[in-house]
Amino acid sequence: MNLQFNDSSITVAVVGCGGFIGSHLLDAILSRTKWRVFGVDLDFYRIQHRLNDERCEFMVADLADKSVVERIAKFPVVVNLAAICTPSRYMAEAPEVIRSNYDHPVALADACEKSGSWLIHFSTSEIYGRTSVDSGLLVEDETELTFGPVKSSRWSYATAKLLTERYIAGLKNLKWTVVRPFNFVGPYMDFMPGVDGSGIPRVLANFSSALVRGEPLKLVNGGVAKRSFTSVFDAVDFLFALFEAGQMGFVAADAITEKSPFSQAFNVGNPDNEITIADLAWKMRKIFAEIKGVNIESIPEPESISGVEYYGEGYEDSMRRLPSVEKAERLLGFKAKTPIDVVLRESLTWFVKHYGCLDERLETKDER
């Protein structure tokens, strides 16, 4: 099969199509290609606008169901985004986190190996583990991986994801690509606690929620950890670069060249957007004041809190996540391009409009 974007006979399976990344990917596939989508999820609120699209078929299910796994694996390209990936759950619900991030994707990988489908599996930048504030670039096939002790249950997610990567890489006949996202952010990320979810969402959604509620942003252990935030729209562009590169492999198995995206793990991130969490908090506070047109002094200042107090026993942190993006550039010609100020303004504007006040003057990329 040739994976041309204008080929309306192609159906791509997207597992987790109703999630943050999945919903943006779905929009992009439907607008940039003629493909059809077989979408699987348990929650469809982000993709209400697509539910009656004649190019989509949706199924309310998860990968715990073997018959669903078999069905998904019949499609030539399978993008697996499904996961429990909320840090506050890694401590409280380790067995569920491990089932969702190991048992389920491994069953899908086995089925794709049998059927010959291309599995694009979403792993995590958290597999780089317990990094220090001065760790260098994280390089896909070189960096040593270190995790905390078993009683630090924070690592339940990372170790499950890592074992899945190792399993996938060990399957001799599976056509696979692994994606390691570095803090993707944008509209529809996570949830607002107490409104459409509970627990602690990831930092951008949590800071946005606090700003909308007029509460101080909480800096875990002073906010000295660093992250490299990546626009979800850049992440979708990465997937299209991947689809394009993958076309070769669909022409013939022996067309796999050294530039092939198969049997590779890719960091997808934006090292130019690296920032400490404390600086992120001050920046978001400033952008929020500008969006709302209020005096910045009226917005509470960030406050520090200990990780254990905030997340519970077993919490540890990755202190720095700086991606090497050389491989994606070399093999796929892809480089994330959206600067942090643009990503934050776009995400926060969307958040305020969606949850805060329905202020029609606010410009957002949200066309849903």
Binding of ligand UDP by 183 (CB under 6 A)? yes
Decide if residue 209 touches ligand UDP (CB under 6 A): no
Q: Which two tokens stand for residue 225?
A: 């950890």
CB atoms within 10 A of CB 6: 8
235 binds ligand UDP (CB under 6 A): no
- Contact set for ligand UDP, span 302-341 (CB under 6 A): 317
Q: How far is the CB of 128 from ligand UDP (least distance, A)?
A: 11
- The reply to whether 284 sits near ligand UDP by the rule CB under 6 A is no
DSSP labels for 83-108? ----HHHHHHTHHHHHIIIIIHHHHH
Q: Write down the least CB distance from residue 9 to ligand UDP, Å.
A: 39
In the complex, minimum distance from the CB of residue 30 to ligand UDP, in angstroms, rounded to a whole number: 29
CA distances 202 to 58, 138, 186, 198, Å, are 27, 21, 12, 12
Q: Is 180 in the site for ligand UDP (CB under 6 A)?
A: no
Residues 6+ apart with CB under 8 A from 165: 121, 123, 127, 178, 265
Q: Which of residues 244-283 bind ligand UDP (CB under 6 A)?
A: 277
Q: In the structure encoding, which two tokens stand for residue 111, read together?
A: 């089925």
Instruction: State how far the Cα of 89 lies from the Cα of 290, in Å rounded to an integer.
Output: 33
Shortest Cβ distance from residue 49 to ligand UDP (Å)? Answer: 27
* Binding test (CB under 6 A) with ligand UDP, winner from 16, 18, 22, 223: 223
> Which of positions 119-138 make contact with ligand UDP (CB under 6 A)?
126
Give bridge partners of residue 266 from the DSSP assignment. 179
306, burial (CB in 10 Å: exposed 0-12, middle 13-18, buried 19+): exposed
Residue 188 bears catalytic tag:
no
If one asks whether residue 218 binds ligand UDP (CB under 6 A), the answer comes out as yes
State the catalytic residue, choosing from 90, 102, 128, 157.
157
Instruction: Enumerate the active-site residues.
Output: 157
Contacting positions for ligand UDP (CB under 6 A): 87, 126, 183, 202-203, 206, 218-220, 223, 225, 227, 277, 317
